Amino acid sequence: MNLVVTRKSYADRTLGDLAQQDFARGVYLQKIARGAASVSIPILKNTQIHRGDILTISGTRSHTQRVVQELGYADRPSNVTDMITVGLGIFIGGLLGAIVLPVFGTPLTLSTSGGALIAGLIIGWLRGVYPIFGNVPSSTLWFMNNVGLNMFIAVVGISSGPGFVSGIQEAGIKLFLLGLAATSIPMLMAPLIGKYIFKFDPAINLGCCGGARTSTASVGMVGEVARSDVPMLGYTVPYAVSNTLLTLWGMVMVLLLK
């Protein structure tokens, strides 16, 4: 069975420490998954357990129930999406994004997409701490991530095509070359900065770069080649931050250029 750690009293303690507790007798730990990407964590004596970690345990029913009562919540597999939470998150996020605040005469807003993004981040964090609501099956997540992202890219490309052609006609090839440099130089510099300045592990470094570019496909390719989920450890936080900044600063740049 899967157990989600929610108790503060046992968070950030090592497996060796937890193994000494009376409630751990007769229970065997098979897997540790962490984060929205379910990154596999090594089962070692000094491995720390955090709130939101999913522990796959086995043993008799009485023993496993005893551990569940001490550590958190039994996360039983389900194919049902919690549409009430999803719908409320989109609705409340849309209302938040519809608010327009004038700043020095310039209207600033999160937009409905930005508001929904912020609501999703908050609900995702709450589910990690209190995993009794907001269940979304892995198959649904795959559909949202892949089909939804591809549809978004297709719509943006189709709607931006006429503007791109007219921009090239008015500004010349210089506009295209500047855009190419603005997108390529940061992408080429990011791995070097992570390696030589921040001294990141190569797997974490590539995960951070993929998350900063909001490119799920690139991180998936790195993990497939490395045969490891470690790159996903560096992917999640930069991905969330980049999505938020992309939504907010895109509107700011448009307003500044007007």
Fold of 2-74: Alpha-Beta Plaits (3.30.70)
Q: Whose structure tokens read 């570019």?
A: 213
DSSP state of 38: T
pLDDT of 174 reads: 81
**Residue bearing the bigger pLDDT, 228 or 33:** 33
Position 10 pLDDT exceeds 70:
yes
- DSSP, collapsed to helix, strand or coil, labels residue 29 as strand
Please name the amino acid found at residue 42: P
d(CA 135, CA 37): 14
pLDDT of 82 reads: 86
Position 8 pLDDT exceeds 90:
no
pLDDT of 127 reads: 79
Taking phi over 0 as left and psi of -120 to 50 as alpha, with beta for the rest, 98 belongs to alpha
Contact 119, 90 (CB under 8 A): yes
Position 62 pLDDT exceeds 80:
yes
pLDDT (tens digit, 9 = 90+) per residue, 85-142? Answer: 989 999 998 898 888 888 777 677 777 877 887 888 888 878 767 777 888 887 787 7
Provide the residue ranges of all domains of the chain, joining segments of one domain with +: 2-74, 172-250
Give me the percent of the chain exceeding a pLDDT of 90: 19
d(CA 143, CA 19): 39
Position 37 pLDDT exceeds 70:
no
pLDDT (tens digit, 9 = 90+) per residue, 188-232? Answer: 999 999 999 999 989 889 989 988 887 777 787 888 788 777 787
Contact 205, 234 (CB under 8 A): yes
pTM of the predicted model as reported, rounded to 2 decimal places: 0.58
> What is the per-residue DSSP string for 232-257?
GGTTHHHHHHHHHHHHHHHHHHHHHH
Question: Rounded mean pLDDT of the chain?
Answer: 82
Position 153 pLDDT exceeds 80:
no
pLDDT of 250 reads: 65
d(CA 95, CA 146): 26
pLDDT of 97 reads: 84
CA distances from 219 to 19, 107, 140, 214, 232 (A): 34, 36, 20, 9, 7
Could you tell me which residues come within 8 angstroms of residue 96 by beta carbon, excluding any fewer than 6 positions away?
A: 110, 115, 118, 119
pLDDT of 239 reads: 82
Q: Is the dihedral of CA 17, 21, 24, 28 positive or negative?
A: positive
